[in-house]
């Protein structure tokens, strides 16, 4: 068979055990390779989108805005401005004469209409090319309207999603430090890098509340402009995810001296560790906090374990493949699968760093395929080679799994199931169980177990003449 891996991409794939660890990453996607990745704009949109009381205006032709309209599962407990799709819908004459005037008018009318607490203006590829001065327009509107109007330098072609994260963090950092922090508790955190998919942030907030910790700002799930403005008053930043908001945390550490803890809320260990790390951090200020946290974890686990065991019975020994946006999520997923008795045989991400992949190589079993920025050809080949039972990914990965007769769990920004926290672990296990144990795989051509005869399977091209035994 023809090799499916592009020569240029060989260094972006590592097989654990076969050779010493080495992987290249953070490269531009290969032309013609049908990458699963989007663009810089996508990165910033993902991060900033859930700030629900801000206006998110996409400056560019219509597509960039249309395809990002309310596709995420980020929920808000209040305003829902983020779920609308605003665009300057650039036309030919704007491209020729420049779109600054149109952008200005668009901002004014939208701000007047929706009264947002801030506006983010995303730059797209075209804007980068025609050279509109986003900064100048934003500054002008900010002066006219008296709300922060912040340009997001997210021209799609200027790199990959990671650059978009940075652009988003830079945009948000302009807000931080502009609000009043006088009433904030000494036991306080900001939640960074969580997008409140299916209300996950509310689960985490509940845990923190039970521990006696105040949440100053959600950045960015269920986010509010006013909270981001006073985020510098928190005692600690909790950063989840591979790095979508790590840059912001670093900026806040530098300027305001706020320490950072990296966390993950997926799976039992990582969720518990996250809470214990917070408790440890505040131990000096509140000696009781550790006891409260231990109680909380114990309570949650007591409820969770028996349920997990029933799923585990059916899942023991099954194989999983993971391809997600950020590599950090993959660590938690590997551990979560272990709780279900399952082995991860392939793991990859769109935006992992060398460090991320090295760590993945350390915690996975021999033979595991580790891959950066992949494509459908490779994914389908890996799934077949490893004969996996479940694939974890996003919408673009789903049909690949299903076409191969493999179960699938949706674990990206579009999911509508909460997968964080102890409750999330239960939901995850339930979903994995539902898909892996479905009877449909008994019938799909590639994996069917029973020797059933299928009409048409002879591949005969002759038309049926009706002269069967009955005639």
Partner 1 sequence: MKKAEPFVSTTNACKMCTPLGAAMAFKGLEGCVPFLHGSQGCATYMRRYIISHFREPMDIASSSLGEKDAVYGGKANLMQGLLNVIGKYKAPAVGIATTCLTETIGDDVPTILHEFRKEHLTSLNGQMPALIHVSTPSYGGSHMEGFHAAVRSMVAQLADPETAKHRGINLFSGFVSPEDIRHLQDIFAHFGLSATLLPDYSETLDGPALEDYQNIPGGGTPLDAVRAMPGAGASIEFGRTIKPERSAGAVLRDMYGVPLHSLGLPIGLRESDALFTTLETLAGCSAPRRYALERGRLLDAMVDGHKYVAGKKAIIYGEEDLVVGLTSFLSEIGIKPVLVASGGESGLLAEAVAAVTGEFPGDPPLVRDGVDFYQIVAEAEALEPDLVVGNSKGYRELARARNIPLIRVGFPIHDRFGSQRVLHLGYKGALNLYDLIVNALIEKKQEDSPIGYGYI
The residues binding ligand SF4 (CB under 6 A) are: 39, 41, 60-64, 124-125, 156
Please list, in sequence order, all residues whose beta carbon lies within 8 angstroms of the beta carbon of residue 399, skipping any fewer than 6 positions away.
none
Among 341, 359, 376, 417, binds partner 1 (CB under 8 A): 376
Give me the sign of the Cα torsion angle 329, 330, 336, 340: positive
Cβ–Cβ < 8 Å for 394, 324: yes
Distances (CA, A) of 381 to 9, 34, 47, 321, 365: 15, 15, 32, 12, 19
Least Å from the CB of residue 141 to partner 1? 13
Which of 457/470 has CB closer to partner 1? Answer: 457
Least Å from the CB of residue 139 to ligand SF4? 22
Least Å from the CB of residue 26 to partner 1? 13
Least Å from the CB of residue 404 to partner 1? 5
84-87: list long-range contacts, CB under 8 Å, 24+ apart. 85/58, 86/55, 86/56, 86/57, 86/58, 86/110, 87/57, 87/58, 87/59, 87/60, 87/61, 87/62
Distances (CA, A) of 293 to 212, 397, 417, 466: 9, 38, 25, 73
Which of 125/324 has CB closer to ligand SF4? Answer: 125
Look at residue 259 and give the partner it binds from partner 1, ligand SF4, none, a contact being a CB closer than 5 to 8 Å depending on partner kind.
none
Two tokens, residue 314: 């059916």
Least Å from the CB of residue 354 to partner 1? 20
Q: Is 42 in the site for partner 1 (CB under 8 A)?
A: yes
Cβ–Cβ < 8 Å for 120, 138: no
C-alpha–C-alpha distance, residues 340 and 429, integer Å: 7
Cβ–Cβ < 8 Å for 168, 43: yes
Look at residue 130 and give the partner it binds from partner 1, ligand SF4, none, a contact being a CB closer than 5 to 8 Å depending on partner kind.
partner 1
Among residue numbers 290 through 329, which ones bind partner 1 (CB under 8 A)? Answer: none
Q: Is 29 in the site for partner 1 (CB under 8 A)?
A: yes
Least Å from the CB of residue 205 to partner 1? 26
Interface with partner 1 (CB under 8 A), residue total 75
Q: Of 137-145, 271-279, 397-405, 460-468, which part binds partner 1 (CB under 8 A)?
A: 397-405
Among residue numbers 219 through 278, which ones bind partner 1 (CB under 8 A)? Answer: none
Which of 95/226 has CB closer to partner 1? Answer: 95
Among 105, 253, 309, 438, binds partner 1 (CB under 8 A): 105
C-alpha–C-alpha distance, residues 397 and 385, integer Å: 17
- Measure the CA angle with vertex 299, ends 298 and 301; round to 5°: 65
Cβ–Cβ < 8 Å for 282, 289: yes
SS percent in the chain: helix, strand, coil, step 5: 45, 15, 40
Beta bridge partners of 215: 189
Among 46, 57, 171, 268, binds partner 1 (CB under 8 A): 57
Least Å from the CB of residue 64 to ligand SF4? 3
C-alpha–C-alpha distance, residues 7 and 11, integer Å: 9
Look at residue 274 and give the partner it binds from partner 1, ligand SF4, none, a contact being a CB closer than 5 to 8 Å depending on partner kind.
none
Beta bridge partners of 407: 390
Q: Is 429 in the site for partner 1 (CB under 8 A)?
A: no
Least Å from the CB of residue 167 to ligand SF4? 11
Which of 66/434 has CB closer to ligand SF4? Answer: 66
C-alpha–C-alpha distance, residues 441 and 11, integer Å: 34
Site string for partner 1, 399-428 (x = CB under 8 A): xx-xxxx-----------------------
Look at residue 210 and give the partner it binds from ligand SF4, partner 1, none, a contact being a CB closer than 5 to 8 Å depending on partner kind.
none
Please list, in sequence order, all residues whose beta carbon lies within 8 angstroms of the beta carbon of residue 30, skipping any fewer than 6 positions away.
6, 8, 9
C-alpha–C-alpha distance, residues 60 and 41, integer Å: 11
Which of 154/188 has CB closer to ligand SF4? Answer: 154
Which of 39/327 has CB closer to ligand SF4? Answer: 39
Which of 37/230 has CB closer to partner 1? Answer: 37
Site string for partner 1, 65-94 (x = CB under 8 A): xxxxxxx-----------xxxxxxxxxx-x
Pairing of strands 236-240, 13-15: unpaired
Among residue numbers 116 through 175, which ones bind partner 1 (CB under 8 A)? Answer: 125-126, 128-130, 155-160
Q: Of 106-114, 213-221, 275-283, 322-330, which part binds partner 1 (CB under 8 A)?
A: 106-114
Which of 239/406 has CB closer to partner 1? Answer: 406
């Amino acid at each position: 068979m023809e090799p499916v891996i592009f020569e240029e991409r060989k260094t972006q794939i590592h097989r654990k055990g076969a050779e010493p660890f080495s992987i290249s990453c953070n490269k531009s996607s290969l032309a013609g390779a049908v990458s699963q990745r989007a663009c810089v704009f996508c990165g910033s949109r993902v991060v900033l989108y859930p700030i629900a009381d801000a206006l998110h205006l996409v400056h560019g032709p219509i597509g960039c805005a249309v395809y990002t309209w309310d596709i995420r599962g980020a929920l808000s407990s209040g305003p829902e401005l983020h779920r609308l799709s605003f665009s300057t819908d650039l036309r030919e004459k704007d491209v020729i004469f420049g779109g600054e005037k149109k952008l200005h008018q668009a901002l004014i009318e939208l701000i007047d209409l929706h009264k947002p607490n801030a506006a983010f203006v995303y730059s797209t590829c075209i804007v980068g090319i025609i050279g509109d001065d986003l900064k100048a327009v934003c500054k002008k509107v900010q002066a006219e309207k008296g709300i922060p109007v912040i340009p997001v330098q997210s021209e799609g072609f200027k790199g990959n999603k990671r650059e978009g994260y940075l652009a988003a963090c830079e945009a948000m950092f302009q807000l931080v430090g502009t609000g009043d922090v006088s009433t904030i508790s000494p036991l306080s955190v900001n939640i960074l890098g969580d997008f409140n998919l299916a209300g996950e942030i509310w689960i985490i907030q509940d845990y923190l509340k039970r521990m006696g910790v105040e949440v100053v700002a959600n950045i960015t799930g269920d986010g509010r402009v006013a909270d981001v403005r006073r985020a510098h008053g928190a005692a600690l930043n909790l950063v989840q995810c591979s790095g979508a908001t790590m840059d912001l945390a670093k900026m806040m550490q530098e300027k305001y001296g706020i320490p950072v803890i990296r966390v993950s809320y997926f799976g039992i260990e990582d969720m518990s560790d996250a809470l214990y790390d917070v408790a440890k951090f505040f131990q000096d200020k509140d000696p009781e906090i550790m006891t409260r946290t231990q109680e909380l974890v114990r309570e949650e686990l007591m409820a969770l374990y028996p349920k997990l065991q029933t799923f585990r019975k059916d899942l023991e020994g099954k194989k999983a493949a993971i391809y997600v946006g950020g590599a950090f999520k993959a660590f938690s997923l590997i551990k979560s699968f272990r709780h279900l008795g399952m082995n991860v045989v392939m793991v990859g991400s769109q935006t992992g760093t060398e460090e991320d992949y090295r760590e993945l190589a350390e915690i996975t079993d021999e033979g595991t395929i580790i891959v950066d920025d992949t494509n459908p050809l490779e994914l389908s080949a890996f799934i077949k080679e490893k004969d996996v039972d479940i694939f974890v990914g996003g919408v673009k990965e789903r049909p690949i799994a299903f076409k191969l007769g493999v179960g699938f769990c949706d674990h990206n920004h579009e999911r509508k199931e909460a997968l964080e926290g102890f409750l999330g672990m239960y939901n995850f296990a339930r979903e994995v169980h539902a898909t892996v144990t479905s009877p449909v795989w008994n019938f799909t051509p590639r994996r069917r177990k029973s020797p059933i005869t299928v009409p048409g399977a002879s591949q005969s091209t002759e038309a049926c003449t009706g002269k069967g035994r009955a005639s």
